[in-house]
Chain A
Amino acid sequence: MSAAPRKQVGLFVTCLVDLYRPVVGFAAIALIERSGNYTVQVPDAQTCCGQPGYNSGDKESALAIARQVVAAFEGFDYVVAPSGSCAGMIKTHYPDLLAGDPAFAARAKALADKTYELTQFLRDVAGWDGVTAAFAGNVTYHDSCSALRELNVRKQPRDLLAKVGGLSFNELPDGEPCCGFGGTFCVKFPDISNRMVEDKVANIEATGAGVVLAADMGCLLNIAGKLKRKGSKVEARHVAEVLAGMAQDPAIGEGQ
């Protein structure tokens, strides 16, 4: 009797993981392959999901990139991104964006149906509860707006973290508001963005946690940058690093 064929998972690395924190990409691969009968592949023809154009009104640029992503990823059984924002872009916005393109509308919809944020995939698709990693410390968790409100992902990362040995979890008070990143928003309206991240960081510090985790590098760069500017001891990491037992690198924005 032969085993069921392994399902092929395409990893959408995301531009910020690619550029800023490659360890998150490797952690994502390890987690997906541990979670079930999956083989992860990383298509070369990927760069970005197109959000900068899509959210800035540059539809033409967004369309060109969306078509490229659809073509590169439509052959996989699943597509996973270690980001609520990029997964949300593919899952909830590509079908709208490409709706008027007869060559791509159905393909975008099909891709959307099989695209997941990492923790969402691990829990809802793989049904995985086999986390074996250990992480000694108090952590809190920041839900990105896109994970929370576009993808309805809230319970999944918490369920996974509950299995991490030695980890204690402090819920973040007033967790629903945005951290103030918002892509180009944070540089277009730096003063408002600053107020938002000030509030977020104050709530993070109020938990008493030593580490803040999140599933989106955009939020993490913003939050880590503010924590460090304040001289806070709280560290920021992507949740995949902790879940995969790959949290040995210096935290985001920390030196060697």
Chain B
Amino acid sequence: MQSTSHLFKDNVKRALKDEHLQRALVHVRTKFIVKRQQAMDALPEFEALRDAARDLKNHVLSRLDEYLVEFEGNVVKNGGHVHWCATPAEARKTILDICRSTGAKTVTKGKTMVGEEIGINDHLAANGIEPIETDLGEYIIQLRGEAPSHIIAPSVHVTKDQVEETFRKIHTDLDPARNLTEPASLLHEARVKLRGRFIAADVGITGANFLVADTGTTTIVTNEGNGDLTQTLPRIHIVLAGIEKIVPSIQDAGLLLRVLARSATGQEMSAYTTFSTGPRRPGDVDGPDEFHVVLVDNGRSKLLGTEFEEMLRCIRCGACLNHCPIYQNVGGHAYGWVYAGPIGAITTPALIGIEHAAPLPEASSLCGRCESVCPVRIPIPKMLRAWREEAFERRLHGNRARWALKIWAALATRPALYRIATGIGVRMLALLGGKRGRFASLPLSDAWTEHRDLPAPQGRTFMAMYRGKR
């Protein structure tokens, strides 16, 4: 996927003016946050579960190589195949080769963010194989030619009216006079359209929420059941997953499932939780003939042992997006690449390079609400600061801010000089502010005064007054 993360500021301007987007984003702040809170309130041990989930992921990351090899061994034992892909290009080639091996014409897909990371849809389409998204939200945005704007709610930026408009434009074989005002009628139409696709597909590609090492099982959660049809009906099932998705056992997957849905949608469990262990066995009534797991690294292993390792704990619940005031206002596309919101602001620089995503870690007030809701307690603000440090060291931002900081620091480390400079500055500001007590505009303060007044200081510094009184 082509990134526009370096153009974040332009993207923000557009997003704030987009009326449809702004209307759609209201759902994020109301629905998701309230439902998560209700789920927390109903489970007193939730904080303890978060600790356990964090510890589990830390343990896995400390032995990632061992668990991955164990997983591979068990997949093979079950009759499946594991493909190790270091780069997006390798993953794309691997998947295309598998599709070609069965002469695939169409491929159904469950939701996969790694699929976005490696750009699998475009690659398949360019090679004459039609990819069909089957998650309702993904289906909608595929018809609209858009990328997902949220990890678990890919079309959260689209209003119902826009969905109707899109369906009427694309589903031209249906009665133009049909009634699509109710969400249920839109859902029904998508179902009717997708049903035939499920049956016709030669290959089904899903992501994985977890990869279970000791059984070679892959796990997905959905609320629509589309993942099950995607992986059960076609002849070949391809699971596409990042290497960090590994857990030691089914019990461990259970722990993460308990925090995942609650953090994501406020559900106790998603409607469907599906465990897949290998291809159809003799005597099984259904299931694919071939079972492939494509493990994607794409820069993840480079994070191990660094200050950024903890971001690999992410279980992609989206809670940090929902609670982020930046995301709530600009939506996901402004972030310019696959992952949006706070987790996107730390993951994108890791996967595509800080030089291509330098504005993202800057776009935060460091309010810490992301960390406070993260089910695996990723210290996101700490990592935002770490990226800022790297950007500063590599001089990725303009020299103006750099000089301002250096001058400020030179003053702040010379208290006597600082007193003289600030004493003069404060007096001037107070005089200028005069009786009104505030400024509607002030030279060099446009960024502040464009939207708010600047209160004037009281007149003398505390330090001057305090010394005067002693």
Contacts and interface: CB of A to CB of B under 8 A. Distances in A.
Interface residues of B, number: 64
Interface in B334-378: 362-369, 371-372
B330 A178 contact: no
B435 A145 contact: no
A162 B391 CA distance: 46
A149 B458 contact: no
Contact of A254 (B367, B389, B391, B437): B437
Contact of A256 (B382, B435, B454, B463): B435
B457 A20 contact: yes
Contact of A178 (B363, B369, B392, B458): B369
B3 to A, nearest CB: 19
A186 interface: yes
Contacts of A54: 385
B434 interface: yes
Interface in A45-80: 45-48, 50, 52-61, 64-65, 68
A19 B437 contact: no
A193 B451 contact: yes
Interface string B395-411: 00000011001101101
Nearest to B411: A47
B367 A229 contact: no
Nearest to A96: B382
B329 interface: yes
Given A20-B455, A55-B388, A225 B438 contact: yes
B393 interface: yes
Contact of B408 (A61, A68, A180): A61
A68 B466 CA distance: 21
A178 B365 contact: yes
Secondary structure call for the A interface: helix
A56 B451 contact: no
Interface in B423-468: 425-426, 434-438, 440, 447-448, 450-458, 460-463, 465-466
Interface string A223-256: 0111011000000000000000000011011111
B362 A188 contact: yes
B390 A57 contact: yes
A163 interface: no
Contacts of B453: 224-226, 228-229, 253
A64 B325 CA distance: 32
Contacts of B451: 190-191, 193-194, 197, 226, 229
A65 B365 contact: no
Given A20-B455, A57-B388, A52 B405 contact: yes
B360 to A, nearest CB: 11
Contacts of B436: 255
Contact of B364 (A23, A149, A182): A182
Given A46-B415, A65-B412, A53 B405 contact: yes
Contacts of B425: 19
Contacts of B390: 57
A236 to B, nearest CB: 8
B2 interface: no
A44 B392 CA distance: 31
B363 A192 contact: yes
Nearest to A97: B385
Contact of B448 (A150, A225, A250, A252): A225
Interface residues of A, number: 71
B326 interface: yes
A224 B461 contact: no
Contacts of A181: 365
A22 interface: yes
A178 B363 CA distance: 13
B27 interface: no
B422 interface: yes
A133 interface: no
A22 B325 contact: no
B172 interface: no
B392 A57 contact: yes
A42 B466 contact: yes
Contact of A145 (B365, B438, B452): B365
B365 A228 contact: no
A242 B12 CA distance: 39
A249 B368 CA distance: 33
Contacts of B363: 185, 188-189, 192
A55 B401 CA distance: 12
Interface in B81-135: none
Contacts of B275: none
A13 interface: yes
A25 B462 contact: yes
Contacts of B16: 191-192, 195
Contact of B458 (A176, A182, A249): A249
Contacts of A45: 415
A18 B325 contact: no
Contact of A255 (B9, B402, B435): B435
A177 interface: yes
B43 to A, nearest CB: 19
Given A46-B415, A56-B388, A149-B368, A196 B452 contact: no
Interface in A176-220: 176-178, 180-197
B455 A253 contact: yes
Contacts of B371: 149
A56 B406 CA distance: 11
B46 interface: no
Interface of A: 13, 17-26, 42, 44-48, 50, 52-61, 64-65, 68, 96, 145-146, 149-150, 176-178, 180-197, 221-222, 224-226, 228-229, 249-250, 252-256
12 contacts: A55-B388, A61-B409, A178-B365, A185-B365, A185-B366, A190-B447, A194-B451, A196-B325, A224-B453, A225-B455, A253-B456, A255-B436
Interface of B: 9, 12-13, 16, 325-326, 329-330, 362-369, 371-372, 382, 385, 387-393, 401-402, 405-406, 408-409, 411-413, 415, 418, 422, 425-426, 434-438, 440, 447-448, 450-458, 460-463, 465-466
